[in-house]
Amino acid sequence: MRLLTSRHLELLVGAAFVGVALVLIRESLLLGAGWGNAGPQPGLFPLISALVMGSSGLLVCAQAAKDGPAGSPFAGKSELVEVIKVAVPMMVAVLLLPYLGFYVVMALYMGLFATWYGRMRWYLVFLLAIAVAVIAFYAFEQGFKVLLPKSLLYGYLLPF
Amino acid sequence: MDPISGLTLGFSQVFQPYNLTFLFIGVVLGLVIGVLPGLGGTSGVAILLPLTLFIHPNAAIMMLAGLYWGALYGGVITSILFNIPGEPWSAVLVFDGHPLARAGRAGLALTTAFVSSLFAAFVSNVLFTFFAVPLAEFALGFGPPEIFAIMLMAFATFVGIGEGSSPLKTLIMITAGFLLGAVGLDLVTGQPRLTFGTITLLTGFNFVPVTIGLFGIAELLVSAEEQARGKVEEIKARLGWYDLVAAVREVGRRLWLLIAATLMGFWVGVMPGTGATPASFMGYGLARQYSRNPERFGKGAIEGVMAPQAAADAAGIGSLLPMVTLGVPGSPTAAVIMAGLFMWGLIPGPKLFQERPDFVWGLVGSLYVGHLIGFALCILATPLLAAIMRVPYALLTPFIVMISILGAYAINNSLFDVWVVLIFGLVGYILRKLKYPAAPLIVALVLGDPTESAFRQTLIMGHGSPAILFSRPISGPLMGVAILLFLLPLIRAVLTRRRAQVQEA
């Protein structure tokens, strides 16, 4: 299987910047990018920025296209797998945040990730993860008085 | 206030137990972050920034600056002992520091780096102390055109002497930062801008989640790749008095090189834009250029450790000088610290010296004390600090992610910011792989509003014409330098092509 090469991605990202720039150029023009009652209108600065971004993006694409078909793979397969294995649990943790609250997610995420990804002994890891979450609770909730997302059980069964 | 009484006030601030405690915490955290290769000083400062809302600004600035110094010292350990850069600004130490460690002189290499750092810090602190007030007074007369010219110079520096990344990509990242900063309410008319009709975007993008994502999370994902490549080897080192004496002797024999590297680093730091990382590479170049036997470089030349570290540390300190006096950060890390000032309700710039002398001089005092703390901890506890590298990645990653989430959430109590961290982390990972530099985006995001308002006021002063930028005595030359820096990559490309043609002929 041929993996994504850096050149493909270079073109893709360059084109994405051009696309974003086009949308923002339109927005800036709608806002007005000329001279108004209070001097330059709000759209002027974004318009200039978007124009520079779009033209630079085009040039990046042109350079990547000129470089020819040879290109190193963006990342080795094993490396990409590793990145996905780290990125997905991160996303799951954020998704669970509004339901389980910061401290429960912290203990679960640390415990499960170290057990699964690091293949560490689960009872040791969980002992540590819970200890860290408890220390974090006392430090942030009581010490710094930071308001963090609470679990659905907050106020009924749990203090966090 | 004259520098001496300012410094007295500063030290009285630093030695208050409350402030000293947070300075100490900052340095220790900086050392830990510096040693860890997955997390840089800039993201460390960004992650901690929201927590500083809950402490006094005087202690907060000391903690964040202390973290900067700690990270400057900590990166040395990883680079020399593990052959991987703990920080971008210590990357160059790998070239000669690690060969020295391999040859059994790890103790000497480390101590020399620390002594060089401390020396550079002391010289730079003195420069800082005596230049701060004159520079601030000079800047009091600045109008919008001057401020805009300085801002433009900061961005031109990224384009002109960026760290090996394509100038086009740097331009894209700068403008992306501006555009992200423009989202929200327009600063003059109050109109919603680039919000696409949503309410979430009305408040705009806070730079903290963006910074944590682009630096912190993206760095974690890059180090995930390295997990696939296997373990790193470690060379053990224990530092003793013997090393300290030997290091001081080595430094003493090359004092002029050290002074030159320090002054150059300080200058690079003061110049708005880039900071310690290019300074360290330039310090290395300086040492090799003036060495009597340049062939030893890359095989364990002690100058290759000394000069880059001195330049990096001096640049770190130098980068704070324009930040407090002009409101223009000299480095990406300084930009994040400056964003902290805004958060605490302070406006960096010349007036700060009159309004909050305790704050400014407290920072100056902490430059001295923070470096001494960092130096002492490194000499005493290097084996302990190196042991941090043994904490498994699988435990560290979720911990760093959770602290990042906490930082992002605490700013506005909003889950939107947490998603911003995650999305910018993933995008940042891809951009990093394609060598898009992250630092210009952050600096542009922090400086977006001041740059734009200076730009608009300049145009109003010039009745719609930017010509006023070139006709005023200070902004004119600054604009000239900025344009030259913007054109530098083009000039360089033309020169290389011509040289290639000459060689062919």
| DSSP one-letter string for B460-482 | HHTTT-TTHHHHSTTHHHHHHHH
Chain B: give the shortest CA distance to residue A152, in Å.
15
Q: What would the mean pLDDT of B262-284 be, rounded to a whole number?
A: 88
The answer, yes or no, to whether residue B383 has pLDDT greater than 70, is: yes
**Under a CB-based contact definition with an 8 Å cutoff, are residues B294 and B105 in contact?**
no
pLDDT of residue A1: 41
Q: Is B41 helix (H, G, I), strand (E, B) or coil?
A: helix
Mean pLDDT estimate for chain B? 87
Residues of A in contact with B209 (CB under 8 A): none
One-letter amino acid for residue B192 of the chain: P
pLDDT of residue B121: 93
Please indicate if any CB of chain B lies within 8 Å of the CB of A57: yes
Q: What would the mean pLDDT of B419-426 be, rounded to a whole number?
A: 92
Domain extent at residue B430 = 3-504
* pLDDT 10s digits, B137-177: 888 888 889 989 988 988 888 888 766 678 899 999 999 99
CA atoms within 13 A on the CB side of A107: 19
* pLDDT 10s digits, B69-82: 999 999 999 888 88
For the entire predicted model, the pTM comes to 0.87
Choose among B175, B220, B418: nearest Cβ to A94: B418
Quickly state the pLDDT bin for A40 (edges 50, 70, 90).
confident
**Under a CB-based contact definition with an 8 Å cutoff, are residues B117 and B276 in contact?**
no
Mutate to test the interface with B, among A24, A63, A82 (most CBs of B within 10 A): A82
Query: Which residue of A lies nearest to B419 if distances are taken between CA atoms?
Result: A94
One-letter amino acid for residue B25 of the chain: I
One-letter amino acid for residue B499 of the chain: R
Quickly state the pLDDT bin for B122 (edges 50, 70, 90).
very high
Of A107-111, B112-116, B197-201, B394-398, highest mean pLDDT: B112-116
Please indicate if any CB of chain B lies within 8 Å of the CB of A94: yes
* Interface confidence (ipTM) of the complex: 0.89
Neighbours of B123 (CB within 10 A): 20
pLDDT of residue A75: 67
**Under a CB-based contact definition with an 8 Å cutoff, are residues B435 and B166 in contact?**
yes
* pLDDT 10s digits, B289-316: 888 888 888 888 888 899 999 999 999 9
The answer, yes or no, to whether residue B237 has pLDDT greater than 70, is: yes
Residue B185 bridge partners (DSSP): B192
Helices marked H in B83-105: 93-100
Query: Which residue of A lies nearest to B175 if distances are taken between CA atoms?
Result: A49
Q: What would the mean pLDDT of B329-343 be, rounded to a whole number?
A: 89
The answer, yes or no, to whether residue B462 has pLDDT greater than 80, is: yes
Chain B: give the shortest CA distance to residue A138, in Å.
14
* pLDDT 10s digits, B22-63: 999 999 999 998 888 777 888 888 888 888 888 899 999 999
Chain A: give the shortest CA distance to residue B460, in Å.
6
Residues contacting residue A158 through CB under 8 Å, at least 6 positions apart: A101, A104, A151
| DSSP sequence for B254-270 | THHHHHHHHHHHHHHHH
Cβ-defined contact of A39 to B196 (cutoff 8 Å):
no
Q: What would the mean pLDDT of B106-112 be, rounded to a whole number?
A: 89
The answer, yes or no, to whether residue B113 has pLDDT greater than 90, is: yes
Reference B60, options B96, B88, B23, B106; nearest CA is B23
Cα B370 to Cα B3: distance, rounded to the nearest angstrom = 19
What kind and span of H or E run contains A40? strand A39-40
Please indicate if any CB of chain B lies within 8 Å of the CB of A124: no
Quickly state the pLDDT bin for B84 (edges 50, 70, 90).
confident
Rg, C-alpha atoms of chain A:
24
Please indicate if any CB of chain B lies within 8 Å of the CB of A24: yes
One-letter amino acid for residue A123 of the chain: Y
Q: What would the mean pLDDT of A114-143 be, rounded to a whole number?
A: 84
Phi, psi angles (nearest 5°) of residue B92: -70, -20
Chain B: give the shortest CA distance to residue A157, in Å.
23
Strands B192-193 and B184-185: antiparallel
Cα B182 to Cα B179: distance, rounded to the nearest angstrom = 5
Cβ-defined contact of A110 to B395 (cutoff 8 Å):
yes
| DSSP sequence for B275-317 | -HHHHHHHHHHHHHHT-S-GGGTTS--THHHHHHHHHHHHHHH
Please indicate if any CB of chain B lies within 8 Å of the CB of A27: yes
Cα B432 to Cα A130: distance, rounded to the nearest angstrom = 34
Choose among B179, B220, B436: nearest Cβ to A49: B179
Strands A35-36 and A39-40: antiparallel
**How many domains is chain B partitioned into structurally?**
1
Cα B75 to Cα B34: distance, rounded to the nearest angstrom = 4
The answer, yes or no, to whether residue A126 has pLDDT greater than 60, is: yes
To the nearest 10°, the Cα dihedral for B340, B87, B124, B361? 20
Burial (CB count <10 Å: 0-12, 13-18, 19+), residue B198: exposed
pLDDT of residue B228: 65
